[in-house]
Amino acid sequence: MPTKFTYSDAQKAAIDCAGSMVITACPGSGKTTVMVEKIRQEFDSLKPHQGIIGISFTIKSSKELGDKCKKNGANTRASFFGTIDNFCLAEIIFPFLGRIYGVSKQEISCVQFSQLKDEYKAHLPDLSKSNINLSTNDYDYYESEFMEHYRQGFVLLEAVTIIACKVLEKSEACRRYIKAKYRSVYIDEYQDTSEPQHALFCALHSLGLKAVAVGDTQQSIFAFRGSDPRHLLALAEDVVNFVHHIIDINHRSHPSIINYSKRLYSPQCQLIPVAANDIHVYHRSFDGTQEAVASGLSNWIEKSVRTLKIEDLSEVAVLVRWNGSIDRLQRHLTLPARFYRDDSLSKIASPLGRFFSALLTFYFDERKLAEQLLDDFLRSKRTPAGLRAIRSSIHGLRNFELKKLPDEFIKIAALFDFSADDKIEVDALLQIISSPEDILHYKAVQSGEIQVMTLHKSKGLEFDLVIHLDLYDWVFPTRTYTGNFNEEVFTDWDQDLNLHFVGITRAKKWCVLITSTQRINSEDNVKKASPSQFLSLPGIKGLYR
């Protein structure tokens, strides 16, 4: 932590709060800094066998949280930093599921619904579809299926949290272990929790752990996964068990960007004084369709970068609503660019898929350490000699050509107790290493590359200049045709508005909202384009140029 850094009054109050609490924090408010400081202060009072649970919703963000907490030699060995699924598996299911299902004679793995044989899928809801998710109330109905999975040597990834909740409820040994080992649980991005994840957090709190939830309801953008910001609101309203702290000063973005983003939700909210000639939010309209936008964007960005004195193109992000817009930009952008989209492994999203993704990142990024893979994926204890052998195998990866990676990945996966028998992840790996575009996802960001991604993928990132595309009526927010073109029906207005808010607040210095005079619709017909309803919300007139 830099010595010159000073906390705001709101940040200091949250850090000094000793009990269970809820922190609602706007973008750029330093919520991660507050979490890290709170956790680091707790380390001083822990016994050698005690630790902290620190959970975020991606391996990357949870790893960053853990790394920040380890700075200056802090001992985090007894603590857990990872995703909620990994916590459930490593600390509850793998060690204690046998207490309620019976001892298994084989190693238990974790399998995603899409990887199940049809005979298992037939007795479950179609969990491959968005908006179909399991809740804790579903456990009793499907318990016999989960037990059969266990007898066959696996647990279902989509059921991990509801199974963990049941283990915690039924196993006294599990409860004693958690209470003895952990003092506190912290969950970041709490607006993205599902009902089972919220139930697990409350169960950990009821065991006596200090519980800290951090989030922002306006950044809730994953409802299709079962996430619900009402869980965060419920904790904030629970004045008996939780103290609510609000950190609402955005230290990241230019004041005019903050003003614009706040008015999306509150047309009468107080504004930060900004001179008319110092507004850094722009609306820009191109003549033609989205093809014209994509074709003209390179020249426009070059001129803007010179005018705004942006030194590195990697500080420029082009954010889109749909992957189809990324396809269009890939065809037309002439400036160096990095395109982020789902690849074969990320679509599988299985534990082995995530492990292969992490190995690919290690292979291409010299800054990555083998120790990070051990911390994230090693599920059982090893002797010092065993650990040295695993580290040596990982380090040796960088000596192999791309075409030899699949065989080496399978060997290393076996060292981590993963089985690659189904070949799904191996096929996905082969597809990635044969695609120069997919490989780029795993290489470190280079200077001089524009960053192009969907609004969903931009969550948690920040850039000097954000260029926000796809702002058309019918496109964003998504509008449903009812038979009357004059009738405006929006099926996901709240989620879409939150996504728009997330996009705007990725900008530190400048934000440009792009439209065009025409639009190619879903049937490839050219239509007159009307701007998104977001661009005419009450209260934002005069807040852009």
For the CA atoms of 321, 326, 332, 335, what is the dihedral angle to 10 degrees? 100
H-state helical runs in 365-466:
370-377, 384-396, 405-415, 424-433, 436-440
Amino acid residing at 296? G
Q: How far is the CA of 318 from the CAs of 73, 295, 455, 466, 534, in angstroms? A: 38, 14, 9, 6, 18
Q: Name the H helices within 247-335.
A: 255-263, 290-308, 323-332
* Residue whose tokens read 């922002």: 216
Residues with Cβ within 8 Å of 302's Cβ and at least 6 positions away in sequence, in order, are 335
Cα separation, 370 vs 359, in Å, equals 9
What are residue 505's phi and psi, to 5 degrees?
Answer: -80, 5
Residue whose C-alpha is closest to residue 258's, from 247, 266, 249, 267: 249
Quote the CA–CA distance of 250 and 28 in Å, as a whole number. Answer: 5
Which pair of tokens denotes residue 537?
């919300």
Residue 184's beta-bridge partner residues?
52, 210
Residues in binding site for ATP: 25-32
List strands edge to edge, sheet with 182-187. 80-82, 51-55, 182-187, 210-215, 21-25, 243-247
Task: Give the span between the Cα atoms of 350 and 115, in whole angstroms.
Answer: 9
**CA 1 to CA 25: how far, in whole Å?**
20
Handedness of CA 99, 104, 106, 112 (dihedral sign): negative
Tokens of 305: 């970068």
The token pair at 25 is: 């924090």
Encoded amino acid at 113, one letter = F
What is the C-alpha to C-alpha distance for residues 425 and 329, in angstroms, rounded to an integer?
A: 29
Which residues, in sequence order, are CB contacts of 422 under 8 Å at separation 6+?
Answer: 115
What is the spatial distance between Cα 522 and Cα 153, in angstroms, rounded to a whole number?
45
Binding-site residues, please?
Answer: 25-32
Report the relative pairing of strands 182-187 and 51-55 from DSSP bridges.
Answer: parallel
H-helix or E-strand spanning residue 210: strand 210-215
The first and second tokens of residue 388, run together, are 């040295």
Closest by CA to 516, choosing from 355, 189, 287, 336, is 287
Report the C-alpha gap between 509 and 308 in whole angstroms: 9
